[in-house]
Amino acid sequence: MMQITDCHLFAQSGDRLMGVDTTETLDWVLELAASLDRPDRLLLTGDLAQDGSVAAYAKLRDRIAGLQAPASWICGNHDNAEAMADALVDQPQALGKLQRMGNWQLILLHTQVEDEVGGFLAESELALVEQSLKDFEGHSLIAMHHHPLAMDSQWMDRIAIANSEQLWQKLSHAQGKVVLLCGHVHQQQELQRDGIELFTTPATCFQFSPHSREFGVTDEMPGLRTFELYDDGSVSSRVHRVSGRKLSLNRELMGY
């Protein structure tokens, strides 16, 4: 399985965010992805378009087609759910909330709040988690955009999932192992709480400074994350980063 996140695409190729051509950096990451073993599934975990246009989502849809893997899409705070659905009208399974994969199930949660940067889980999302965990005897991978655990980054943690404690309470219903993953934070972290692992993944554009009080970016390169899920509930994961390229960050254009 492969996670790609926080592409921040525009309809017009060449448009830039903080000096970065986000279409170009996505292409770098997809070139990297193509050099790895073909994944059995792609997870696209939000902030996929910066401008919320159908054309931006269609661009992503067409570019990932070369990886020849089924894809699951979720919205981030910058995304437009209606435009995303319009671009995927012939691929409704891409927006499915629940996927079964042998001894694992994949649960995809919507954390977007309209006109807000931070996230929130509606009662329907929490109910999906609880019921899915009760019904399935195997292990569960739960994917979302916003982070459900503090990143030790004051500005970022103010825009996490506001009611994340309710999610953690629902995880007690699991019959097998639970693993969480998210986008949003534009950085690699591996955290644990109560024996449950949370993985975060580099963006395909620029990366945020970790453990920071205020917004900042680093010179780290774009990347993706791969996962191997084993029948006993264990997981191995690795971050892969682009190399041999130059990132054109403009720190005078702070903000995204």
Contact present, 71 and 104 (Cβ < 8 Å) = no
| pLDDT score, position 35 | 97
Please indicate, yes or no, if residue 249 is contained in any of the structural domains. no
DSSP strand E in 47-188: where?
A: 71-74, 98-101, 104-108, 139-144, 178-182
Q: Which helix (H) or strand (E) holds 22?
A: helix 22-34
Looking from the CA of 210 toward its CB, the CA atoms found within 13 Å total: 11
Please indicate, yes or no, if residue 113 is contained in any of the structural domains. yes
Domain containing residue 6: CATH number? 3.60.21.10
Q: How many domains does the chain have?
A: 1
* Distance separating alpha carbons of residues 53 and 55, to the nearest angstrom: 5
The pLDDT tens digits of the residues spanning 73-97 come to: 999 999 999 999 999 999 999 999 9
Please indicate, yes or no, if residue 185 is contained in any of the structural domains. yes
| pLDDT score, position 250 | 83
Please indicate, yes or no, if residue 237 is contained in any of the structural domains. yes
* Distance separating alpha carbons of residues 198 and 190, to the nearest angstrom: 6
Contact present, 50 and 10 (Cβ < 8 Å) = yes
Q: With helix as H, strand as E and coil as C, how does 166-219 read?
A: HHHHHHHHCCCCEEEEECCCCCCEEEEECCEEEEECCCCCCCECCCCCCCCECC
16 has which bridge partners? Answer: 21
Which of helix, strand or coil describes residue 162? coil
Contact present, 79 and 95 (Cβ < 8 Å) = no
Please indicate, yes or no, if residue 252 is contained in any of the structural domains. no
- Phi then psi dihedrals of residue 253, to 5 deg: -105, 55
Please indicate, yes or no, if residue 255 is contained in any of the structural domains. no
Please indicate, yes or no, if residue 251 is contained in any of the structural domains. no
DSSP 244: S
Q: Can you read off the two tokens belonging to residue 233?
A: 């509930």
Kindly give the confidence (pLDDT) of every residue in the chain, 256 residues in length, as a single tens digit, with 9 standing for 90 and above: 999 999 999 999 999 999 999 999 999 999 999 999 999 999 999 999 999 999 999 999 999 999 999 999 999 999 999 999 999 999 999 999 999 999 999 999 999 999 999 999 999 999 999 999 999 999 999 999 999 999 999 999 999 999 999 999 999 999 999 999 999 999 999 999 999 999 999 999 999 999 999 999 999 999 999 999 999 999 999 999 999 999 998 877 766 6
Contact present, 235 and 217 (Cβ < 8 Å) = no
Domain extent, residue 17, equals 2-242
Please indicate, yes or no, if residue 254 is contained in any of the structural domains. no
* Residue 130 CB neighbour total at 10 angstroms: 18
* Distance separating alpha carbons of residues 111 and 198, to the nearest angstrom: 16
Looking from the CA of 8 toward its CB, the CA atoms found within 13 Å total: 25
Question: What does the angle CA 168 – CA 131 – CA 77 come to, to the nearest 5 degrees?
Answer: 55
DSSP 251: G
